[in-house]
Structure 1
Amino acid sequence: MHLNKISLLNYKNFEDASFDFDGKINCFVGKNGVGKTNVLDAIYHLAYGRSYFNPIAMQNIRHNQDFFVVEGEFEKDDRSELIVCSLKKGQKKILKRNAKTYEKFSDHIGFIPLVIISPTDRDLILEGSEVRRSFIDSVISQLDSPYLHKLIQYQKVLTQRNALLKYFAANRNFDQETLVIYDEQLDVLAQPIFEKRRDFLEQFLPIFNEYHQTISNSSENVQIVYQSHLSQHGMLALLGDHVQRDRALQYTSVGIHKDDLSFEIDGHPIKKFGSQGQQKSFLIALKLAQFEFVKKQSGQKPILLFDDIFDKLDETRVSKIVEMVDNDAFGQLFISDTHPERTEAIVKQTHQSYKIFNL
């Protein structure tokens, strides 16, 4: 799997731009604000149908313009694949594969395996549980479309249950029988989602630990702990036990939508006890493990986006990453960096073909 060419029209700061890529390493260098990360985000857009950095779709349209178009020519299994993502103000976003429009974006997820490593990944450590759930769901969904469809359905039923709780509060009444209808639907969906997350982490953690030991020279002991209400009780029982609380709060307070991952270093939360360098190593290992897991499960080397990865990493850790690139563990790479000389020196160490784009 690799991307041969991308074209951007009115995408973020680009009016009209095209890039022809090397099959191995591609580097975007230049000062902050010139659009290096935007090119990486455009590539991400073609894989996921959305931006990695800005969830508000309209804000990805260039200022004073009415639309954007991102077009990518991929090669997968010796076949050419043309992916186009476009958005016009006042209309729905459109995603096409070989001129055929997807009815549901979820049907496209996983077709282009891709992993991004970015400074904004720090949100996985610093922000709330929703960000970490989104990470685990994103990895599983790339490989398991029924899982993604269950997640979407769970969210729909959850929204309906929450709306019913608000209706009860507004009208000062309560109908247990109606609520139980939603409880039973959530129960059917929650258990397989919980089991899939649990089973995924059992396979994922050894890969994560191996990458972390490589990057950190085995100097730190890290762990990821899965926290879920369903590890102790079934969904139906949980909802029944918390019904009075849910009525008071007017939303569903328990369930797999509250699951979390605890990131730890030496038995303590890395958010509080990890240095900036340790946190960054943890996150890079996390994303490289995602890459390895997807590669093993799909039989494809995902496209790997390194956004400003070499900032704040010491030379030892950078050299470890370069070593992995040189061993041909990765497929096609895209790198952004503010220092052209540093970038070229690093990619030359890999003995792989490369292109550098000065923006």
Structure 2
Amino acid sequence: MRDLLGHFRTTVFGPEDLGVVKGGPGGRRRWLDDLLADVHPRNHLLSTDLDRILRQRNALLKQARGRLTDDVAMTLDVWDAKLGEVGGNLAAARREILGALEPLVGDFLGAVSGGTSDISMAYCDEWSAEGLVESLGHARADDVRRGISTVGPHRDDVMIRMDGLPTRTHSSQGEQRSLALAMRLAGHRLVVDRTGTDPVVLLDDVFSELDDDRVRALVDILPVTQSVITTAGTVPDGVEAGSVLRLADGVFS
């Protein structure tokens, strides 16, 4: 699978994307990490290395059974140094790409919704002020007691605000869906700009909660290369498809 990274890129939007906006931090971290991997496969190594280090560190914490012995402390020093390097690099990459995405998300949201909402996106952590290794040291006793790593990029989040209010709690489902779509389209544009390649766009049931005006606006801003759209309803007026496949009773026609 790793060999395929960077060779076949896709931009996929489906109903589950709503969770990136209204769900927990994990979905937003995955959104950033997937984009980082699309921009360059080496970024994927940061995520996999972080996961490996966390597995090893957490295994050590569980084996300690709440006792911070000298041997446990010495081994934690090793893993904390590794986590500090890899985690710091991953968080820096996330912050950089988020800064590039923010204006694009605002532009695409305006195009899809027809509105002029102000979008801000901030990377949130609890460790950067003093450094990751230092924060791990301060959390060590609690980590040993709980048997899990409580500090690091694996617990970071992205705060998204629309007109100053958190979209997770203060936006309607329609606004959240439009924002999730804008985030996918912004990611697509960023991948095109940074790699020179145009991923295939797959939009699953994207028309279901958009009125005709928003549908036409969406179609107008879709990439000129290959886009595949599925819908359980009818194709809105004014939308022309290069080809149409219909699925009925398990048969394509």
Q: What's the TM-score once normalised by structure 1's chain length?
A: 0.65
Q: Is 1:110 the equivalent of 2:6? A: yes
Matched AA of 2:242: S
Q: Is 1:239 the equivalent of 2:239? A: no
Greater than 6 Å deviation, 4+ residue runs = none
- Give the distance between the partners of 1:330 and 1:260, measured in 2 at CA: 33
Shift of 1:347: 3.0
Shift of 1:279: 0.8
Q: Which residue is equivalent to 1:319?
A: 216
Asked if 2 retains the 8 angstrom alpha-carbon contact of 1:222 and 1:265, the reply is yes
Asked if 2 retains the 8 angstrom alpha-carbon contact of 1:140 and 1:200, the reply is yes
Q: Which residue is equivalent to 1:140?
A: 36
User: Could you say what secondary structure the match of 1:112 adopts?
Assistant: coil
Asked if 2 retains the 8 angstrom alpha-carbon contact of 1:229 and 1:256, the reply is no
Matched AA of 1:209: G
Alignment of 1:135-284 (within 5 A): 135-169=31-65, 172=67, 174=69, 175-284=72-181
- Give the distance between the partners of 1:118 and 1:111, measured in 2 at CA: 22
Shift of 1:330: 3.3
Identity of aligned residues (%): 26
Match 1:124 to one of 17, 20, 23: 20
- Give the distance between the partners of 2:45 and 2:33, measured in 1 at CA: 11
Say which structure is richer in helix. 2
User: Could you say what secondary structure the match of 2:169 adopts?
Assistant: helix
Residues 152 and 240 of structure 1: CA distance in aligned 2, closer, same or farther (over 3 Å): same
User: What RMSD in Å do the two structures reach over aligned CA positions?
Assistant: 1.7
Matched AA of 1:155: D
Aligned residue pairs: how many? 246
Matched AA of 1:224: M
Asked if 1 retains the 8 angstrom alpha-carbon contact of 2:68 and 2:144, the reply is no
- Give the distance between the partners of 2:133 and 2:82, measured in 1 at CA: 9
Say which structure is richer in strand. 1
For residues 86-128 of structure 1, the C-alpha deviation after alignment (integer angstroms, 9 at most, x for no partner) is xxxxxxxxxxxxxxxxxxx222122111001111111112321
Matched AA of 2:228: F
Matched AA of 2:173: Q
Shift of 1:230: 4.3
Matched AA of 2:183: L
Q: Is 1:355 the equivalent of 2:234? A: no
Q: What's the TM-score once normalised by structure 2's chain length?
A: 0.91
Q: Mark the runs of 5 or more structure 2 residues left unpaired by the alignment.
A: 249-253
- Give the distance between the partners of 2:213 and 2:116, measured in 1 at CA: 13
Matched AA of 1:347: V
For residues 255-293 of structure 1, the C-alpha deviation after alignment (integer angstroms, 9 at most, x for no partner) is 111111112222112122111111111111101101111
